[in-house]
Amino acid sequence: MENPVENAKRLAAFKAVDNHVVNGVIGIGSGSTVVYAVERLAQRVREEGLEVICVPSSFQAKQLIIQHGLKLGDLEMHPELKVTIDGADESDLQLTLIKGGGGCLTQEKILASCAEEFIVIADYRKASENLGEQWSKGIPVEVIPSAYRAVYQKIEKTLGGKSELRMSGSSKAGPVVTDNGNFILDWNFQTVMNWKDVETSLNMIPGVVENGLFVGMARKAYFGMSDGSVMERTVKANM
Ligand SMILES: O=C(CO)[C@H](O)[C@H](O)COP(=O)(O)O
């Protein structure tokens, strides 16, 4: 594979699937890195007889599972997952994540919370010391459509920074609509903050469905590097 970023995604995804997936129910995140994780899962099912049921975090993930001929499940049938594997937009040294670049943050956080182990896979561009070093698009906040303006103002008043309503781009006029039928605000924070407090504050604003800060959820991340290696970051659980 020629492209160093795609190669890095693939390396991280393959290593995570090899190290963490055993027979059982697996949460499948969303985004371009997860595509490689599903590819590797399907390979292991074919070659090793691995038995997995895959619970998707999005329409995209569901399509991937179906296209690869993997068994599809849902949280209603399987509310407890062995492991969830997902990408990230940025990770700091404590594995505090910004997620939701693909707009699937709410289901992704649910799947992460239901898993015994939440494993992050990403390329080298996502590994930071502090949030905001690499990812400049802000923290995604999924909002009830009728409340977007009110939420926007409250975030600015309480936490500072600026928010933007995420727009669809050229293929559709108007805002991005999530798989849950909601809008997304991208909140550009001004400085490094206590992310657990920020995560809670955002979710306390009426109209907010969920936000893309994942604090204290991931214990292990795999970052594919440009030289073909995989950098691992591990954090201990808070007692
Ligand atoms: O949070 C996400 C989607 O909501 C993705 O995991 C995140 O955007 C990373 O995507 P990619 O693997 O394409 O870099």
What's 219's domain CATH number? 3.40.50.1360
- Region of 31 (left: φ > 0; alpha: ψ -120 to 50; beta: rest) is left
Answer yes or no: is 187 within a domain.
yes
Structure tokens given for 171: 């293929």
CA separation for the pair 210, 200 (Å, rounded):
10
- The pLDDT of residue 44: 98
Answer yes or no: is 196 within a domain.
yes
The answer on pLDDT for 239 being more than 60 is no
CATH of residue 143's domain is: 3.30.70.260
Answer yes or no: is 105 within a domain.
yes
User: How far, in Å, from the CA of 105 to the mean position of ligand 1?
Assistant: 9
- Domains of the chain: total: 2
Instruction: Give, for ligand 1, the residue of 89, 179, 209 to mutate: max count of ligand atoms closer than 8 Å to Cβ.
Output: 89
125 and 154 co-located in one domain: no
Which pTM value belongs to this model? 0.96
Read off the pLDDT of residues 13-56 as tens digits, 9 standing for 90 and up.
999 999 999 999 999 999 999 999 999 999 999 999 999 999 99
ipTM over 0.95: yes
205 and 224 co-located in one domain: no
Give residue 197's domain range: 139-209
Question: What does pLDDT average to over the chain?
Answer: 97
The verdict on the CB of residue 207 being under 6 Å from ligand 1 is no
Atom of ligand 1 nearest to the CA of 121: 12
Answer yes or no: is 233 within a domain.
no
User: How far, in Å, from the CA of 12 to the mean position of ligand 1?
Assistant: 14
Q: For 195-212, b where at least 16 C-beta lie within 10 A, e where not — what string?
A: beebbebbeebebbbbbb
